Structure 1
Amino acid sequence: MPVARRSHRALIALACAVSLVAASFADAAWLRQQRAAAGVRMGELVVQLQLTDLCLFTEARYTRHLSQADLHSAFQDHPLGLEHFPTGSLVPPPASLTAANERLDRETEVPD
């Protein structure tokens, strides 16, 4: 048996990797189809039990349920205090705060 070149070994490894990625997508599609009924039942249970929003983060109380957060709880120590939890930097400010100040730079007059 002839000795395989390094490029042939690399192509074989690449082909194996591509086939494994394709197999993982096929497996995900198969699992989605198998678990579709469970998702419908879970949605019905959420409606029946009147559950609240999804808990996105578990660290700070003001990042757990964004629709129910106290707007001033991020400044629980003092307004200039540093962020204690890294998830606070992942959550953008509410749209109501950004929409009012969106055009502020266009309305402000620049002094001479």
Structure 2
Amino acid sequence: MTQRKSALFAWVVALLSFTLAGLLIHAQHKVGSASPVIAANAMLVRQLQLTDLCVFTEASYTRNPAVAGAAPAFQDSPLSFEHFPSGALVQPHPAAARNVP
């Protein structure tokens, strides 16, 4: 006796739904137990005045836009094309944009 493809699909969807529910329950449990660690890390970040997270890993001017200058994107030539896709997604930091002559 062969199983219908729709029944197989239903079993896969059910399995994935139970897995998702388990992951959500696990995440909710971990959030409650990790809140002291998160609070301590937040206090450390405020005390050390750390900068933003590294969002992109491609180019130095997209890793942390808060500390990048306005010119590194055009280091090869002012008319050169953007080499990295992340450069099209990240706007320059407002302070860097104001300091451009």
* TM-score, structure 2 normalization: 0.74
Percent of residue pairs identical: 39
Runs of 4+ in structure 1 off by over 4 angstroms are 93-97
Name the counterpart of 1:29. Answer: 28
Higher relative contact order (CA 8 A, sep 6+): 2
Match of 1:104? none
How much does 1:61 deviate? 2.0
Aligned counterparts of 1:54 and 1:70: Cα–Cα separation in 2: 17
Q: How many residues align?
A: 95
Q: Deviations over 1:4-34 (max 9, x none)?
A: 8524444333222211111111111111111
Alignment partner, residue 103 of structure 1: none
Q: C-alpha separation between the residues in 2 aligned to 1:47 and 1:94?
A: 20
Q: TM-score, normalised by structure 1?
A: 0.68
Q: Give 1:38 shift.
A: 0.7
1:63 equivalent in alignment to 2:53: no
**Aligned counterpart, 2:48:** 49
Amino acid corresponding to residue 34 of structure 1 in structure 2: S
Query: Which amino acid is the alignment partner of residue 31 of structure 2?
Result: R
Which protein is bigger by CA-based radius of gyration? Answer: 1
Unaligned stretches of 5+ in structure 1? 98-112
Matches of 1:59 and 1:77, distance apart in 2: 16
Q: Aligned Cα RMSD in Å?
A: 2.4
Q: 1:8 to 1:41 in 2, by over 3 A?
A: same
2:23 partner SS: helix
In structure 2, the residue matched to 1:87 is: 86
Q: Deviations along 1:65-107, whole A, 9 cap, x unmatched?
A: 212221122111111112222321221356797xxxxxxxxxx
